[in-house]
Amino acid sequence: MEVLAARFLVSPQTIPKDLNALCGRGILQRVHGGAMVSHGIINYAYAYAYAARREPATDAKHRIGEKAASLISDNHSPSLHIGTATKQMARYLGNKHRLLSITNNIYVSNTMMNFPGCDVINAGGVVRRLDGAEWVRRR
C-alpha cells in the first residue's frame, strides 16, 4: 500500500478505499496481496474495431476459414474463440465427424450446433452484445 500511496501521492489509507471502490464498479478484482484488472471489463475500442472488421475482406475471411477448417481432422476438439475469420471457419466444419468444439463465440455455437458431427461446449459467462463473445461479469 505504501508503494502505491507514494506513487499516487495519497495517504496509505486512501489506497484500500479506492481499490474497494474500483472493485465495486467491476473495474478491478481483489486477489491475494492486491488487485488486478477485471476480465469483465468491456474493451470498447476493441469492440468498435471488431464491428468495423466484420464486413471488409469477406472473401479473404472465407478463404482463411476454409483453409483453417481443412486443417482440423475428425475426432478433434478445436477451441474457437472470438474473431471474424473464426466465424467463417466454423461454417466449414460441417463435414467433420465427432468434433467437440469449445468456444466463447456465440456465432460459432449457433453455426456448429446444426452440424450432426459436432458437439459444442460454450465457455461460461454472459454474452457481450458488442461482439458475441462471452465474459464473466464481476459483481
pLDDT at 49: 58
- Count of C-beta atoms within a 10 Å radius of residue 32: 4
Q: Are 133 and 42 in contact (CB under 8 A)?
A: no
pLDDT at 18: 86
d(CA 133, CA 139): 19
40 falls in which pLDDT band (50, 70, 90)?
low
Mean pLDDT is lowest, of 47-61, 68-82, 95-109, for 47-61
3-state SS assignment for residue 91: helix
**Mind listing the pLDDT tens digit for each residue in 64-92?**
999 999 999 999 999 888 777 888 899 99
Quote the cell numbers at residue 100. 467437440
Q: Which domains does the chain have, with CATH numbers?
A: 2-37 (no CATH), 59-135 (3.40.50.1360)
Quote the cell numbers at residue 68. 483453417
Name the residue among 5, 33, 35, 7 with its Cα closest to residue 20. Answer: 35
Quote the cell numbers at residue 57. 475482406
CA atoms within 13 A of residue 18's CA, in its CB half-sphere: 10
Whether the CA torsion 74, 79, 81, 85 is positive or negative: it is negative
d(CA 66, CA 72): 10
Q: What are phi and psi of 134, to 5 degrees?
A: -105, 145
pLDDT at 89: 92
pTM for the model stands at: 0.55
pLDDT at 31: 72
Mean pLDDT is lowest, of 1-15, 26-40, 90-104, for 26-40
Residue 131 has pLDDT above 80, yes or no: no
